[in-house]
Structure 1
Amino acid sequence: MANAIELAKSYVPKLDEVYKLAALTSVLDSDGAELKEGANAGEFIIPKMSMDGLGAYDRNNGYAQGSVTMENETVKANFDRGRKFVVDVADDLETAGLAFGKLSAEFIRTMVVPEVDAFRFAAYCGADGATKKEETLADGPAVIKAISAACSAMDDAEVPNTDRYLFITPALLQAVKDMDTTKSREVLSDFAGIVKVPQGRFYTGIKQLSGKDSESKGGYTKATGAADLNFMVIHKGALIQYTKHAAPKIITPEYNNDSDGYIFGYRLLSLADVYENKVAGVYASHKPVA
C-alpha cells in the first residue's frame, strides 16, 4: 500500500505541469505567496488592505492622521469537483502506474482544464460590478473598436495598463489579424498576452453537471440564459485565482470491493473571484442571448 501512495505522490508534479500547459487561464494564477490555505479543507486566506486618502496639511499641527488596515479574509473554494476511474489490475504496480499516468494526463487535458477555464470566465463575468457589454461584432474593424472601448473604460477607471490580458475567440482574433493595419497592431500590442479561447469554454455562465443519474457524463454545459463571449479584457491584479491539486487517491485491488482493479480518484479545489475594489479590471463583451 505504501508503494501505491508513493506512486501517486510522484505524479502530482506531472499533473500540475499538464494543468499549466493546457489551462488557458493559468496565466492569471495569483501569486501563491499572497494566498494561504485556511485551517479547514477548501478554505483560503486572502489579505486585503484599505487606507485613507490625502488630507490637509496644517503648518502648526502637521499631517492629518490617517489609517491603514490590513485584514485577512477567509473564503471557501468555489470550485470543488472530483471523479474516480478504475484501471484493471496489471502484472505489477509499475504497469498500473503507467496507465494511470496516461489516463490522468488525458483526463486533465480534455475534461478538467476546459471546465476550469469555463468556470473562471463565467465567474468573472458574474462578479458584481464587472463590465458586461452585449454586442455583435461582424468584422475586424468592429472587433478593434470594441477592444479599444474596453481599454478606454479601464483607463478611465485607472486600471493599471500592465498585466492586462485579452481572451478572445479564434475567429475574432483572426478577423483582426487579417486587417494587418497599423491600428490593429497597435491595439493588440497593448496587452501582456493574447489568448485564443474556443467558444466551448467561453460563456457568461455555465452549468456544472453532477456526474450522477441523468448527468452521469459529468462536465459542464452552457447555462440557460447565458451568452457566448466575444472577448474579455482582464487585469491579472484584479483576480483571486488559486488552484490546489489534491494528491491523487489510490485504492489498490485488495482493498477494492467492487472489482479487481486500481481505483484512482482525482479532486480539484480552486478559487476564482474578483477583488471587490478592483472589478473595473474585468471587461466582458458578449453576443446577444440566443
Structure 2
Amino acid sequence: MANSITKFKAYIDKLDTVYQQASATSILDADADTVRMGAKAGEFLIPKMSMDGLADYSRSSGYVKGDVTITYETKSCNYDRGRKFSVDAMDNEETAGIAFGKLASEFIRTKVVPEMDAFRFAKYASATGVLSAAEATPTAGTAVLTALQTAVNAQDEAEVNVDGKILFITPTLLTLAKNVDTTKSKAILDRFEKIITVPQTRFYTAIDMKDGTSSNETAGGYAGATGGYKINFMIINRDSVIQFGKHTVNKVVAPEENQTDDGYMFFYRAYSIAETYENKVKGIYLNRDTTALT
C-alpha cells in the first residue's frame, strides 16, 4: 500500500501541469502578487487606479498638480466546487496503483478544466458593458474574418489596450478563417497576442452547474443553460478580468487512514473568482450565435 500511495502522490504533484496544459483560460490567471487577501474568508482586494488628465501649463506657475488614486475593491469568490472518489484497495493493488493514479489526472483534464473554462467564459460574456455582436454562426471563412475585423475595430475605437489581446475561438471557425487567402487571414489574426481554440462544449454565454445531489443531477458537471447562447469567439484582454484561484485541494487518504472502508480516497476542491474590472470591461468582446439554447 505504501508503494501505491507514493505513486499516487507523484501524480498529485503533476496536476497543476495537467490544468495548465488542458485549460483554455489558464492564460488569464492573475499573478498572486497583484491580489491581496480580504479581511473575511473568500474575499479578495483588487487594486484599481484612477488619475487626473492633462491641464493647461502656465509659464508663470508651471504645472497644475494632479492626483493619482489607488484603491482596493473587495471581491468575493464566486466558484466553489468539489468532489471525492474512492477506489477499493484491492482494485488498486491489482493494477499496481494505476487505477487511482490515473483517476486524478483524468478528472482534472476531462471534468474540472472544461467546467472551469465554461464558467469563466459565461461570467465574462454576461458582464455588463462588454462589447458584443449577435449573428448567426459564420459558415464561411470570409465571414469569420469580417466578424473578427469588426471586433478589433470596436475595441480600437474604445481605446482598448492593443497589447494582451487573446482570441478565444472555436476550432471550426478558426479553421475556416485560416483557409481563406493567407495574406487576408494573417493580417487579422496577427492582431492578437495569442489565439486559443475552445471546444463549443465549453463556450456558452450561460451555464447550469449540476449540484451532484438532486435526483437528476447526481453525475454533476455542467451544461449550456436554457436561454443562453453558443459563443462563436471572444477577445479578452488580460487586464480586463480578475481570475484567481484562492484555494485548490488535491489530497489522498490511504486505506490505513480511511475510517469508513478499505479504499483510497481522493478529494478535490476548487475555490476561486472569475470577474471583470468595471472600468476595463470593453477589453472583452463577445460574438455569439442568435439561436437561444433550449
CA distance in 1 between partners of 2:5 and 2:102 (Å): 18
Q: What is the identity, as a one-letter code, of the residue corresponding to 2:230?
A: D
What's the TM-score once normalised by structure 1's chain length?
A: 0.90
- Equivalent residue for 1:77? 77
Partners of 2:44 and 2:74 within 8 A in 1:
yes
Q: What is the identity, as a one-letter code, of the residue corresponding to 2:140?
A: D
- Equivalent residue for 2:131? 131
Relative distance call for 1:44 and 1:4 in structure 2 (3 A) is: farther
CA distance in 2 between partners of 1:97 and 1:129 (Å): 50
Question: How big is the shift at 1:257?
Answer: 4.4
- Structure 2 spans left out of the alignment, 5+ residues: none
1:1-290 mapped onto 2 (5 Å cutoff):
11-90=11-90, 99-136=99-136, 137-213=138-214, 214-244=216-246, 246-254=248-256, 256-290=258-292
Relative distance call for 1:187 and 1:239 in structure 2 (3 A) is: same
Q: What is the identity, as a one-letter code, of the residue corresponding to 2:121?
A: F
Partners of 2:246 and 2:272 within 8 A in 1:
yes
* Secondary structure, aligned partner of 1:268: strand
Question: How big is the shift at 1:166?
Answer: 1.0
Question: How big is the shift at 1:27?
Answer: 1.6
Deviations along 1:40-97, one digit per CA (max 9) or x if unpaired, are 443322111111111222333332232111122232211111000002125999x886
Q: What is the identity, as a one-letter code, of the residue corresponding to 2:17?
A: E
Q: What is the identity, as a one-letter code, of the residue corresponding to 2:282?
A: A
Relative distance call for 1:257 and 1:96 in structure 2 (3 A) is: farther
CA distance in 2 between partners of 1:222 and 1:167 (Å): 18
Question: How big is the shift at 1:126?
Answer: 1.0
What's the TM-score once normalised by structure 2's chain length?
A: 0.89
Relative distance call for 1:135 and 1:234 in structure 2 (3 A) is: same
CA distance in 1 between partners of 2:97 and 2:81 (Å): 23
Relative distance call for 1:4 and 1:244 in structure 2 (3 A) is: farther
Number of matched pairs = 288
Deviations along 1:89-108, one digit per CA (max 9) or x if unpaired, are 25999x88654431110000
* Secondary structure, aligned partner of 2:110: helix
Q: What is the identity, as a one-letter code, of the residue corresponding to 2:116?
A: V
- Structure 1 spans left out of the alignment, 5+ residues: none
Partners of 1:87 and 1:96 within 8 A in 2:
no
Partners of 1:90 and 1:96 within 8 A in 2:
no
Question: How big is the shift at 1:270?
Answer: 1.9
Partners of 1:4 and 1:250 within 8 A in 2:
no
Question: How big is the shift at 1:180?
Answer: 2.7
Partners of 2:87 and 2:263 within 8 A in 1:
yes
Deviations along 1:201-255, one digit per CA (max 9) or x if unpaired, are 0011111110112211101010111001111111111111122452323334355
CA distance in 1 between partners of 2:8 and 2:38 (Å): 24
CA distance in 1 between partners of 2:160 and 2:116 (Å): 26
CA distance in 2 between partners of 1:256 and 1:78 (Å): 31
CA distance in 2 between partners of 1:89 and 1:32 (Å): 38
Relative distance call for 1:138 and 1:92 in structure 2 (3 A) is: closer
Relative distance call for 1:250 and 1:39 in structure 2 (3 A) is: farther
Deviations along 1:158-187, one digit per CA (max 9) or x if unpaired, are 112121111111111111111134211211
Q: What is the identity, as a one-letter code, of the residue corresponding to 1:248?
A: N
